[in-house]
Amino acid sequence: MAKIILTGDRPTGRLHVGHYVGSLRRRVELQNSGEYDKIYIMIADAQALTDNADNPDKIRENIVEVALDYMSAGLDPTKSTIFIQSMIPELTELTFYYANLVTTARLERNPTIKSELQMRGFGGSIPVGFYTYPISQASDITAFKATTVPAGEDQMPMVEQTQEIVQRFNYIYGETLVTPHILLPDNKACLRLPGIDGKAKMSKSLGNCIYLSEDPNEMKKKVMSMFTDPNHIKIEDPGSLEGNTVFTYLDAFCRDEHFAEFLPEYNNLDELKEHYTKGGLGDVKVKKLLNNVLQAELEPIRAKRAELQKDIPYVYDVLKKGSEVAREVAASTLDEVKAAMKINYFDDDALIRASIEKYSK
């Protein structure tokens, strides 16, 4: 069976380092591994509108930002199809049919939806579109017959919901859809990178982000203001690593070679952690290391972005061409789905013949 990737992001803002470690970095590695037959990367504007219906400009403006982030991080339009969700109306049609296979009770149990509802403060006024976006995500994944969805931990319930829809669809209508699997980051710190406030996960909607395209000075300011261990007051105090955001980021980004370059008194992160927990290591020194590591990691991305920003029409052209390719693929899956569901009335000769026979007696 073909190995196919589908994944994407909501254009609710520029991409941040949580996206990078949670999904984007992995996508680029998978793309360059040559192990996948097809890679589809979707800018999920229709999904973003489910909780931003009153702010279409935000979504519209961020499409090109996300595309710039993708390509500057290494997604290559000659190897991966980058497209815009709303340009593929077949996805909406699939969602309508899949909605019949899911109960409201099942949607209510989705833990990511639960926490997102709380975060967005909808109260009792939950938009139906938001509530049902896991169904639309099943359409996105299955339309491309994706086998693999590289994503952060928050996407697990979405992929599980998709698996259930596939199972139920294939059971009722015959083997048609492909069951996808999530590909989580190997590194625990990357599953759900916290925001710089240390509270919730880093999220565009919460404003606790370090952006991939962050200006170097701004990034340094953010790192120096980051949440650490509130009880680590004097340098001599033993520090705790638990819930210490600076160390979580180091876990996500730091490699041994960074120590040789930026902090040669230590060989690796384990040694630094040991010193911190014993006492005698100040937060400022650790934050400076993190800033250096992040700057080194993000500098090539920033430079590539500066190049791409000079040719915005090219970026839109990539999205347009990608959307055309994606649409053909989704349309072909929709045809199969409708045939399986017996809603292909006009190209079913047997159906027409049976009707003729019925009335010719």
Name which of 22 and 74 has its Cβ closer to ligand ATP: 22
* Phi, psi (degrees; rounded to nearest 5) at 250: -65, -40
Q: Does 245 bind ligand ATP (CB under 6 A)?
A: no
- The residue within the footprint of ligand ATP, chosen from 5, 6, 10, 293 (CB under 6 A), is 10
User: Tokens standing for 197?
Assistant: 């406030």
Number of chain residues interacting with ligand ATP (CB under 6 A): 19
DSSP for 107-166 reads HHT-HHHHHHHHHHT-TT---HHHHTHHHHHHHHHHHTT-SEEE--GGGHHHHHHHHHHH
Q: Does 18 bind ligand ATP (CB under 6 A)?
A: yes
Considering only 74, 152, 157, 239, the residue that binds ligand ATP (CB under 6 A) is 152
User: Under DSSP, is residue 272 helix (H, G, I), strand (E, B) or coil?
Assistant: helix
Closest distance to ligand ATP from the beta carbon of 275 (Å): 27
Sign, CA dihedral 72-254-22-37, equals positive
Question: CA-to-CA distance for 80 and 39, rounded, in angstroms?
Answer: 5
154 binds ligand ATP (CB under 6 A): yes
Binding of ligand ATP by 80 (CB under 6 A)? no
**Whole-number Cα distances in Å, 74 to 29, 67, 186, 257:** 9, 11, 20, 22
Helix (H, G, I), strand (E, B) or coil at 250: helix
Q: Is 23 in the site for ligand ATP (CB under 6 A)?
A: yes
Within 10 A of 356 (CB to CB), how many other CB atoms are there?
A: 9
| Residue 161 is a binding residue for ligand ATP (CB under 6 A) | no
- Piece of the chain touching ligand ATP by CB under 6 A; list 10-18, 54-62, 162-170, 351-359: 10-18
The 187-226 contact track toward ligand ATP, x by CB under 6 A, reads ---x-xx-------xxxxx---------------------
Query: Cβ of residue 98: shortest distance to ligand ATP, in angstroms?
Result: 20
Residue 80 and residue 322: Cα distance in Å, rounded? 9
Question: Is residue 134 near ligand ATP by the rule CB under 6 A?
Answer: no
Question: Which residues of the chain form contacts with ligand ATP (CB under 6 A)?
Answer: 9-10, 12, 18-19, 22-23, 151-152, 154-155, 190, 192-193, 201-205
